[in-house]
Structure 1
Amino acid sequence: MVQPVPLAEIWRGPFLESVHLGHAVIVDGTGQIVEAWGDPSVTVLPRSSSKMLQALPLIESGAADAFGLGQEQLALACASHNGAAIHTDRVRAWLDHIGMTDDDFRCGPQEPGDKEARDALICAHDAPCQYHNNCSGKHSGFLTLNKHIGGDPEYVQTDHPIQRAVLDGFEDLTQEASPGFGIDGCSAPNFATSLLGMARAMAFYANAKEGQGVRASAAARLRDAMVAYPELVAGEGRACTELMRAMDGRVALKTGAEAFFIAIIPEKGWGIALKVADGTTRGAECAIAALLVRHGLLDAEHPATRKRMNAVIRNWRGIETGMIRPAEQILPRANG
């Protein structure tokens, strides 16, 4: 196994203080590697970066159309949202639409990441509900599909027809048999693959077009929903939302827990997957921004980029103390 390589660095004054090591790979529509750093064959749990794959059966089964789901719901099915009102209002309306309640979820309650929503709960002395969970959109998709097929309510069980359908699509698009799974924070199984396999799957999404077949049509609809509603995929202040906006819908992005990140790039037909080995989000956000700048997809000076790549670090008095920047080997070519 090739060892992880530097992807992002933390500098304090003239001193290199910390280094985030990891692996990254860019794949084209034929499954060939365009560029790679570290070990593309490393086994990974893509965590929430796999939500587009987990949402495939929602469309492929006909459930999305049977319940009249639009792009907003499809974007939420792929989301790790902040639990802001723009997210939870839509999730609750979705539940009402399919005749389900918060009790039907199996994702568990989670304090909202959105400060306004969190403060409102505290002031009202209320506890968070399951619809506040950052994965409640994905689980709304699971519930919709489960109602469509008349499945057992324990839809997160690995042997449930929904999760078997997820695995079928996952293995097809990664072009690998999954070696197993872990249980995600929202209680659904998260299937493992290689980093290369995940990039292959994202390249499929990049090249998918409606009318090319059931799976390609489903992938295209999910990708297009994400770029149409970046604020639903994550939320204000979040990297996925801000960077997708900065690229004017040219690229779909999705983070995953423990410093995973993917990019879907239709104009190049590429998929990107990266994993920072220490699980630190700041490293993954810096690295994905650098790779997008490297290939001319993201403006290096855009404010959303500068929050994550070549971002100034300040102390509590506002004094500039350092910077987080990409490692030399992934520097944008114009700067390298």
Structure 2
Amino acid sequence: MTQPVPMAELWRADLLESRHLGHAVICDDSGQIVQAWGDPEALIYPRSSCKMIQALPLITSGAAAKYGLTSERLALACASHNGAEIHTSRVRAWLQDLGMGDSDFRCGPQMPDDRDARYALIRGYEAPCQYHNNCSGKHCGFLTLAQHMGAGPEYVEIDHPVQRAVREAFEEVTGEASPGYGIDGCSAPNFQTTLHGLARAMAWFASAGDRSDRQSMAAQQLTAAMVAHPDLVAGEGRACTELMRAMEGRVAVKTGAEAVFVAIIPEKRMGIAVKIADGATRASECAIATILSGLGVLDPDHPATVRRITAPQLNRRDVEVGQIRPAAALLSR
């Protein structure tokens, strides 16, 4: 098996202090590998990077049309949001439209990452709710699909009709039978795939406009929703939001826990999947930005790019003392 290769480095003064190893794959619309680093067949959990795949049955089932889901709600179904007011107000409205409340979620409460929302809870001596969970938009999608199916309330169980539909879609677009699953931070199953399979799925999304089947049309809607509402997919200061804004709707990107990152590039009919072996998000952000810049779809001089490719490391006095940089292996191809 091919070993992970250096993808990002931390330099302090003139010394290489840390090195992050990982894998990455670029696929074309035929599912073939265009370029790879490390092991394309490395088995991973895609974590939240695959939320657009998990949202496919929401549309193909007819649930999205039946409930009149807007592009904002489709973007939230793909989101790992900050729990800011723009996220939670929309999630609560979606729940209300379903005739449901916070107790119907199975994702668990989470203190919001958004500073204003977090401080508001603290000042009010309030505990976070499940709608603050960064995955609450995805769970609204699950609840919508479950209600449409007339299925039971335990929608995160592996044998629930919602998760059976998700697995079927996941295996179809990755082109692989998933060998197993783990439970994600939000309690939903997360199906294993290879880096190649995940990149193949992203390329399938990227080329969806070339096809007219129901699944591909759903992929087009989800990609369009993500790039139309980058603020809902993540939030202010986040790589997903800033990089999508920098690419002005040309590319959809999505992060996942433990340093997974994907990209959907419709104009090139290409998909990208990145996994950093040690789980460092700073390295996955550096890697995805470097690859997108190398493909010519992300301006290397855009502030959002510079913040990831040459990310400054500040000390307690806000003095720059180091820098994250792409490893030579990532730049040499």
Could you say which TM-score interval applies, normalised by the shorter chain?
Answer: over 0.9
Which residue number corresponds to residue 307 of structure 1?
307
Write the distance in 1 (CA, Å) between the matches of 2:268 and 2:304: 22
Write the distance in 2 (CA, Å) between the matches of 1:303 and 1:5: 27
Write the distance in 2 (CA, Å) between the matches of 1:107 and 1:36: 35
Write the distance in 1 (CA, Å) between the matches of 2:137 and 2:320: 39
- The answer (yes or no) to whether the contact 2:246–2:302 under 8 Å persists in 1 is yes
- The answer (yes or no) to whether the contact 1:276–1:283 under 8 Å persists in 2 is yes
AA aligned opposite 1:121: L
Write the distance in 1 (CA, Å) between the matches of 2:149 and 2:317: 58
Which residue number corresponds to residue 164 of structure 2?
164
- The answer (yes or no) to whether the contact 2:41–2:194 under 8 Å persists in 1 is yes
- The answer (yes or no) to whether the contact 1:55–1:78 under 8 Å persists in 2 is yes
- The answer (yes or no) to whether the contact 2:46–2:260 under 8 Å persists in 1 is yes
Which residue number corresponds to residue 174 of structure 2?
174
- The answer (yes or no) to whether the contact 1:290–1:332 under 8 Å persists in 2 is no
- What SS class does the counterpart of residue 8 from structure 1 fall into? strand
Which residue number corresponds to residue 68 of structure 1?
68
Write the distance in 2 (CA, Å) between the matches of 1:116 and 1:317: 23
- The residue correspondences of 1:218-297 to structure 2 (distance < 5 A) are 218-297=218-297
- Count of matched residue pairs: 333
Write the distance in 2 (CA, Å) between the matches of 1:97 and 1:211: 32
Deviation at 1:312, TM superposition (A): 2.1
- The residue correspondences of 1:146-165 to structure 2 (distance < 5 A) are 146-165=146-165
Write the distance in 2 (CA, Å) between the matches of 1:320 and 1:239: 20
TM normalised by structure 2 equals 0.98
- What SS class does the counterpart of residue 267 from structure 1 fall into? helix
Write the distance in 2 (CA, Å) between the matches of 1:322 and 1:58: 45
- The answer (yes or no) to whether the contact 1:210–1:218 under 8 Å persists in 2 is no
Write the distance in 2 (CA, Å) between the matches of 1:59 and 1:175: 20
TM normalised by structure 1 equals 0.98
Deviation at 1:331, TM superposition (A): 1.9
Deviations 1:200-240 (A, max 9, x none): 00001000128711100001100000000000000000000
Deviation at 1:321, TM superposition (A): 1.5
- The residue correspondences of 1:107-186 to structure 2 (distance < 5 A) are 107-186=107-186
Which residue number corresponds to residue 16 of structure 1?
16
Structure 1: stretches of 5+ with no match in the other structure: none
Write the distance in 2 (CA, Å) between the matches of 1:276 and 1:21: 6
Deviations 1:51-101 (A, max 9, x none): 011101100000000000010000000000000000000000001111111
Write the distance in 2 (CA, Å) between the matches of 1:219 and 1:300: 28
Q: CA RMSD in A?
A: 1.0
AA aligned opposite 1:329: A
Deviation at 1:318, TM superposition (A): 3.0
Write the distance in 2 (CA, Å) between the matches of 1:53 and 1:282: 24
Deviations 1:262-316 (A, max 9, x none): 0000000000001000001000000000001111111111111111111222222
Deviation at 1:148, TM superposition (A): 0.6
Write the distance in 2 (CA, Å) between the matches of 1:126 and 1:220: 40
- The answer (yes or no) to whether the contact 1:210–1:220 under 8 Å persists in 2 is no
- The answer (yes or no) to whether the contact 2:5–2:329 under 8 Å persists in 1 is no
Which residue number corresponds to residue 44 of structure 2?
44
Deviations 1:114-161 (A, max 9, x none): 000000000000000000000000000000111111101000000001
Cα separation, partners in 2 of 1:261 and 1:218, compared to 1, 3 Å: same
- What SS class does the counterpart of residue 134 from structure 1 fall into? coil
Cα separation, partners in 2 of 1:34 and 1:70, compared to 1, 3 Å: same
Q: Does 1:100 align with 2:100?
A: yes
Which residue number corresponds to residue 79 of structure 2?
79
